[in-house]
Amino acid sequence: MANLKRDIQLPQFASKTDGNTIDEDYFYDGNGNMVEDKNKNIIAIEYNHLNLPTHIQFDNSSPVPDGTINYVYDATGIKMEKKVSMEGSGSTNTQYAGNYVYENRINIIPGGTTTSSELKFFSHPEGYAEPDGLGNFDYIYQYKDHLGNIRLSYKLEGLEEEIDNFNDGTTGSWGSHNSTITNDNEQLKVVLSNAETGIYKTVSVTAGEALTIELNLDNGTTNKVSLYEYNIGKISDLVDGHNQISYTPTISGDFFLLIVKDPTSMDVGTQTNFYLDNIGITIGEDELVIVEENNYYPFGLKHKGYNNVVNGTDHKYGFGGKEYDESLGINGYDFGSRNYDPALGRWFNIDPFAELMRNQSPYNFGFNNPIYFSDYAGTIPWPLPEFWKIWRRKSAPDEYFGYIKRRKRNHNGLDLNYSGGGNTDYGAPVVATHSGKVARIIPLSANDGGGRVIVIESPDGSFQTKYMHLSSVAVQAGQEISEGQTIGLMGGSAFGKEKGRTAHLHYEIHKRSSNGTYSAINPWSGDQPIDPQKWINPMPSLHSGTEAEWSSFWTGFMDTIKEGKMITGDKPTVTESRGTVAPASTLTPVPIVPLPGALPSGGTITPINPGGGGGTNAPPIICTDCNKPKG
């Protein structure tokens, strides 16, 4: 099929130096995928069977050489690798291994090449952790708004910590001071005879900045052991067992710490020994530091000219929590199922479920209302976005609708979750599966088994959907809701407890019977949940709808227009006259405000297993039915 051509005139966003003088800026293939962007010097894009880009070819003008971007995906379309190459400059290969992101570089230099490989960061339930260059990790927390956009990143800074646990079989960073030291069963053994001999370590201090030393001491055969500083003298006696000593230097410079046999020890002159383990030195005090602040125009373009300071690594995840790719000037977000250009507010390719939303352009973002909606994966929403941080929504429920034999009771809905497992899903956005009104909100104080619950009723009252175990509510009773709108955050609330269950979303659909009561139906059909929005705007399938079905639909649709009547129920039949429509009230989203919980005290952070766990440090949430933060 011949390429499609379309001219987009947006000079305020287009490059003023792209040299494109022809009318057409964008070209598409037969599947609706963009294959050329003259403004960004993209001359070819190749796609796989999932309409995901595999190869992007640039034709950059001088002085920038030609470049390419290549992508590798697994069988389900999850990105595994991105390789950016520039002729004459080398390449950067980014690998995505679950929640760990690695970067391998090959740089071309005069006379040869240099290579480097490093872990860039790994995600945790409240943000991410990145190497600090000293063998440990900086633990970064993130605040997100109601649409999942990363607005603020912050961390603890000012605290320097060194720990010697001697588990590596060495003597660590300590040296001998007229003694013999060895690693004995993962402890530091010190053999000595004279007073004020033992081990030493040099640290750099600042006047007025607190110094804390922690260690475990086994006196062995030594009568008395003390902590000294070479120029000051004794700082403190040490006891057998755990010790913690604080000292504030009065001058800046090198501080020569000594752990020695005390001059008053009864065995001075006699060879003795003692053992040390887990020696930790902490300098300074923690304070919260803003790492990065992001502010966005509605469709995702970042504000420029203020709040641009980045204290640390520039984290390339922002709008919608997705990765922003600046490689070779592509300047787009990877949403998983599609790629998005925030300068234009449209996608590179069409929505895979475009036929289910025929009143929307397949290229628009968030139903053209990005204040209330977010295309988390570029597809029509489930109750959960397709991606949450680095985890993908499970393709099947943890629990289906029906009788659960091991629990000896009926399960009236679906338990939906992400691939991270455990409480890694805590705080994930929950979105409405249809338009309607919030019929009621069950607060945590009701001590209900569903915890914090939102019930949304269809416009004609023919069905309701329920969203249970929420950690926070972002809507109010009586509020009008649109399909895809974020209504709350996933949690594990149940029976009056904020974390009464492992984090997940329990989702139900209830249909109204002729006597006015609601009964639960199975929300699952085939390989995905039922789309209840179809019951509100019934329309025959674009591919399988018969001529008779379409004729009936359009007849009913035209009658609606001519007679002022509305379509309700499961099929397109005119049932009643339209009532008086009250003016819509202004919708004001209820803020979701995650607050930082207890922050780590520093030191080595054990990487989180992508297969489960996590969430133990999840920040408390301020919610609409709470009087105080709850964790």
Q: Give me the average pLDDT of each 10-residue run along the chain (631 residues).
A: 39 43 81 89 91 88 71 89 86 90 85 84 86 80 81 79 84 93 93 95 88 93 95 94 92 92 95 94 80 88 77 77 87 87 87 66 79 62 71 82 79 88 86 90 90 93 94 91 85 90 93 90 84 69 54 54 35 37 42 40 40 37 39 35
N- to C-terminal Cα separation, the chain = 56
CA distances to 438, 450, 476, 624 from 445, rounded to whole Å, are 19, 11, 16, 12
Q: Which residues contact 232 (CB under 8 A, 6 or more apart)?
A: none
- How high is the pLDDT of residue 593? 39
Helix and strand element counts for the chain (H, E):
2, 48
CA 408 → CA 402, 404, 405, 411, distances in Å?
11, 6, 5, 10
What is the predicted pLDDT for the residue at 277?
A: 94
pLDDT for the residue numbered 456:
95
* DSSP per residue, 361-414: -TTBSGGG-TTTB--SSSS---SS-SEETTEEBPSS-SB-SEEETTTTEEE-SE
- Residue 329 tokens read as 């000037």
Would you state the CATH architecture of domain 391-537+591-631? Distorted Sandwich (2.70)
Token pair for 3 = 């390429």
Q: Is the pTM of this model over 0.85?
A: no
**CATH 2.60.120.260, applies to 162-285:** yes
* Single-letter amino acid code for the residue at 210: A
Which residues, listed in sequence order, are joined to residue 236 by a DSSP beta bridge? 227
User: Which residue intervals of the chain bear CATH 2.70.70.10?
Assistant: 391-537+591-631
How far, in Å, CA of 195 to CA of 198, rounded?
9
Dihedral of the alpha carbons of 336, 338, 340, 346, in degrees to the nearest 10? -150
Q: Where in the chain is the domain with CATH 2.60.120.260?
A: 162-285
Q: What is the mean pLDDT of the chain?
A: 78
pLDDT number for residue 149: 84
Give residue 31's identity as a one-letter amino acid code. N
